[in-house]
A and B are shown apart, each in its own frame.
Chain A
Amino acid sequence: MAPRTSRRPGFSRRAQYGLFLGYVIAVAGILFALLLLVVAMVDPTGFGVLKGAALDATRPVSAGGRGVVGFFSGLGEGAGNYFAAGSQNADLKKRLAAERRAVIQARATELENRRLKALLKLTQDVPDPVAVTRIVGSSYDSVRRLATLSAGSSSGVRPGQPVRAPEGLVGRVIETGRWAARVLLVSDAASNVPVRLVRDGTPAIASGRGDGTIELKTLEVGKNPFRRGDILVTSGIGGVYPPDVPVAVVVAVDGDRTVAKPLADPARIDYAMVLNVFQPAASQPLSPQTAAALEGAGQ
């Protein structure tokens, strides 16, 4: 491209003022955008109506091609499986034998459980889901790990509600439209889920790393309690996520660092269930009395 000899658009005053005005608008626009970002930081649920409307407007595109999700995510995995077929086969056989033993053991335990529960007259309390829906999209080109659900406030979905799949915990609703909602996945770096180790009940916090994996942080100092293959379930602490929902399986232990993989892969799960907040009181502000008492204790 040939260089422009001057930054002036010409001799026309009107064109010169127009260019100047354009820059004034652009600078004002940047300041306005930064202000919007500050607002988003202070109140992440702000502009909910506008964002919800955008979610609703793009939902038909996403929902129409749900089958494509499986296709795209199948591509990479299919190729990988082909290359690793031999070793995978041997590995799977070994694992199958181990699983079979485990299943028999689990069946025995379940029988015993049922007997004991009947003895105690306990009923298992499984809460009804708010909505059963599908994951129809994600923020695939951004550093955040967000997914789109094809159900919104018209089905009773509200920000803050946990989302799970049969395989495990998916995440938490952060924005809703009328017919669509956005979910913060457990692998997002802003997501922190209180979990416990199934093996011995060690409590930990599962924080996303932004690349599809989760980092586990123990609450105690000392030897890393995690081993490869350990399963983690929600502990119910904090009152948002119901207890005993599977979350992740440990894939790598390196000194103090423990990396786990979510059990529910948002690209492969068929259904996602939106649940009620486990303890609704947990998301309410403190009562004045409690706040006053806490303040007194702090002094």
Chain B
Amino acid sequence: VSRIAGSRRDVAIWGLRRQTVPVISTLAASLLDALPIVATAPVIPDFAYLVLLAWRLLRPELWTAQIALPLGLFNDLVAGHPLGQSMALWTITFFVFDLIDARVGWRDYWMDWFFASLAILFYTAGGWYVARLMGARVDPLVLAPQFALSLIAYPLVARLVVGLDRWRLAR
């Protein structure tokens, strides 16, 4: 692949790729919910949220908070959550990260992981609370394995997102 754009068409394609890869990768992670996996207990992490977190922590300037609304709506529809659950939780997450970015000067790998852990805890607890409001009273301990797996899965997802980001910006 040539590293120099040969034509206007190349420039247009690369521009499109640069803009759409983050959104498309998040939507694709949401679509994992449509895979034919039937589980009897919540164990598998919500990859859509992990991908979203990884993009937000890697590229804070990429998205404003409102992007979480349509992405959350899509996730709600595909995953069968009550409409509004991911919309609200994801947008609040983005707000809090904006606050964190305004106050914390530097973030390194470990701090990213730490903030991501807090966000995953918030998201898991939020989902648990919404389910409770909808009449499903679940013992919070049931969610512990999923939370632990999400913590472990975050660095892997972040790695993947970094790879996508390199490909996205490659010239």
Residues of chain A whose beta carbon lies under 8 Å from any beta carbon of chain B: 1-4, 7, 19, 22-23, 25-26, 29-30, 32-37, 39-41, 44, 46-47, 50-51, 54-55, 58-59, 61-66, 68-69, 72-73, 135-148, 175, 182, 187-190, 208-212, 265-267
Contact = CB atoms under 8 A, between A and B. Distances in A.
A212 B38 contact: no
Contact of A137 (B36, B41, B87): B36
Interface string B41-63: 11111110000000000001000
A182 B42 CA distance: 17
B31 A33 contact: no
Interface residues of B, number: 58
B65 A142 contact: no
A190 B134 contact: yes
A267 B43 CA distance: 15
Interface of B: 31, 33-47, 60, 64-66, 68-69, 72, 77-85, 87-88, 91-92, 94-95, 101-102, 104-107, 127-128, 130-131, 133-139, 142-143, 146
Task: Determine the main DSSP class of A at the interface with B.
Answer: mixed
A211 B42 contact: yes
Contact of B84 (A4, A40, A68, A142): A40
B77 A266 contact: no
B45 to A, nearest CB: 6
A143 B141 CA distance: 11
Contact of A34 (B47, B64, B88): B88
Nearest to B82: A40
A265 B40 contact: yes
Nearest to B70: A29
Contacts of A26: 64-66, 68-69, 91, 94-95
Given A7-B102, A26-B66, A144 B84 contact: no
A238 to B, nearest CB: 16
